[in-house]
Amino acid sequence: MESALRTVTVSLGTRSYPVYIGEDILSRVGGWLQESHRRGQAAIITDDAVEALYGSPVAASLKVAGYNVSTHVVKRGEKSKSLASVERLAESLAQAGVDRHGSIVAVGGGVIGDLAGFVAAVYYRGIPYVQVPTTIMAQVDSSVGGKTAVNLSAGKNLVGSFHQPLVVVADTATLKTLGQREWNEGFAEVIKYGVIRDRTLLEELAQSETPPIAELVQRCLEIKAAIVAGDERETLGLRALLNFGHTLGHGIEAAAGYGNMLHGEAVSLGMVAAAWLSVRRAGLPPEEFVQLRQLLAKFQLPTQLPQTCSKQKILQSASADKKFLGGQIRFVLTPRLGTAMVADSVMKEDLELALDALAESHS
């Protein structure tokens, strides 16, 4: 049943934590934080749009659990994911009296989760935090795994830290207030999980008009939890599989200007490019490339590079990406939908050809 509480565990020894997935569970945030044996002040970090919708119920839950609560708000959008925002939030936390015994509660989408998580990682050299993701993108992906970061003009997520949350609370009722564009962008990450690990998921998405969202969140997070448990800091190559579509996707997002193209939209384009390269470098059957592109289009995600995106800027931003080591590209390809691999055979010239193909009309 959609309303049943689902739990996924991220197994990291003494730093293991649960992810709770269900409908109308914001009232339990305080209790779950309390169960982690945290006391002290609870500081909510959110954006102005989410605060108006969900700030009060989360604050009420924390107060019922006995916490002193302060709320710290940034402007909605990718532009808030910056070092300037980190400084402003840290000053605000200090003024509110949050000390090393306090906790941060990140309420919002991927921008807030990354930003608040990074603030938690560096404030007082690190304090605990809770993720309360309110978008599909954040619920199926970014809220879990401990990657926190902010952007630089040179590229996305270039300043960050690994800092795992205490608990993740994914209330699927919050997804009802998403706009259509934000709803659709989340399915870029859902589709990514199907490409790298679960071909059946892709087939079900292609056939379903109303995907069961709680089940999708659980299935995606089970894949991510297993990968994170096996390669938490991306040193073994396993976690790199989660970057399918992201190498060029991050470059496209930066070239378009942060906030002009949603993260999931850029990842959609990155996946089309990665699949095109997979046909040429990994033996992906051309019909599976077409299937992937059609599935992305079903969720109104872009499959053609806008003319306004400079290929030179995309490659420049991509070259600054963390997936480039000593100039060598760690590029994720899919030999068959449902499996993925990290390849070292992809050259800069291949990326240029992929962008050329991505810019061509598919009509």
Which entry of 197, 239, 293, 330 is annotated as an active-site residue?
Answer: 239
pLDDT-derived band at 23, boundaries 50, 70, 90: very high
249 alpha-carbon distance from chain centroid: 13
What residue type is 253 in one-letter code? E
In a domain, 226, yes or no: no
Please report the sign of the dihedral spanned by the C-alpha atoms of residue 336, residue 339, residue 345, residue 350.
positive
Residue 217 to residue 200: CA distance in whole angstroms? 15
Annotated active-site residue 88? The verdict is no
Annotated catalytic residue within 157, 163, 243, 293: 243
- Choose the catalytic residue: 250, 311, 323, 330: 250
Considering the domain boundaries, does residue 194 fall inside one?
no
How many domains, in total, are found in the chain? Answer: 2
Check if 219 is active-site.
no
Q: Is residue 308 part of a domain?
A: yes
Q: Are residues 269 and 144 in the same domain?
A: no
Burial class (CB in 10 A: 0-12, 13-18, 19+), 249: buried
Q: Quick one: 170 and 237 in the same domain?
A: no
Q: Are both 57 and 146 inside the same structural domain?
A: yes
278 occurs within a structural domain: yes
Q: Which candidate in 147, 192, 311, 323 is catalytic? A: 147
Annotated catalytic, 163? no
124 lies in the same domain as 264: no
Mark whether 172 and 245 lie in a shared domain. no
Q: Domain check: are 26 and 133 in the same one?
A: yes
Identify the domain boundary among 160, 177, 194. Answer: 177
Q: What is the CATH number of the domain that holds 75?
A: 3.40.50.1970
Say if 293 falls within a structural domain: yes
Write the CATH number for 258: 1.20.1090.10
The rounded Cα 73 to chain-centroid distance in angstroms is 20
What pLDDT was estimated at residue 58?
98
Domain end position, chosen among 177, 199, 223: 177
Is residue 244 domain-shared with residue 146, that is, in the same domain?
Answer: no
348 annotated active-site: no
State the maximum Cα–Cα separation within the chain, in Å, rounded to a whole number: 59
Q: Tell me: do 262 and 116 sit in the same domain.
A: no
Let me know: does 216 contact 140? Beta carbons within 8 Å. yes
Owning domain of residue 12: 6-177
Q: Is 37 labeled as catalytic in the residue annotation?
A: no
Is 239 catalytic? The answer is yes
Q: Percent of the chain beyond pLDDT 90?
A: 87
Whether residues 173 and 243 fall in one domain: no
Confidence of residue 60 (pLDDT cuts 50, 70, 90): very high
Active-site residue identified among 156, 163, 197, 246: 246
* pLDDT range class, residue 357, cuts 50, 70, 90: very high
Residue 14 lies in a domain: yes
Average pLDDT over residues 266-274: 98
Catalytic-role residue among 263, 281, 293, 323:
263
For the question of residue 246 being annotated catalytic, the response is yes
Q: Please check whether residues 273 and 166 belong to one and the same domain.
A: no
* Residue 362 pLDDT greater than 80, yes or no: no
Based on the fold, state whether residues 274 and 161 are members of the same structural domain: no
Residue 295, token pair as written in the block: 């599935």
| Residue of 51, 185, 189, 253 marked catalytic | 189
Catalytic residue selected from 51, 234, 253, 288: 234
Q: Is the pLDDT of residue 278 over 80?
A: yes
Is 125's pLDDT higher than 50? yes
Residue 202 lies inside a defined structural domain of this protein: no
Pairing relationship of beta strands 6-10 and 129-133 according to DSSP bridges: unpaired
Give yes or no: 189 in active site. yes
pLDDT band at 1 (very low <50, low <70, confident <90, very high): very low
Choosing from 177, 206, 241, the residue where a domain stops is 177
User: 253 and 132, same structural domain?
Assistant: no
- Tell me the C-alpha distance between 165 and 10, whole Å: 10
Active-site position among 163, 197, 224, 330? 224
Q: What is the average per-residue pLDDT within 315-319?
A: 85
Task: Evaluate whether residue 192 is within a structural domain.
Answer: no
**34 pLDDT higher than 50:** yes
Contact residues for 61 (Cβ-Cβ < 8 A; gap 6+): 26, 27, 28, 29, 30, 31
Residue pLDDT, tens place only, 5-16: 999 999 999 999
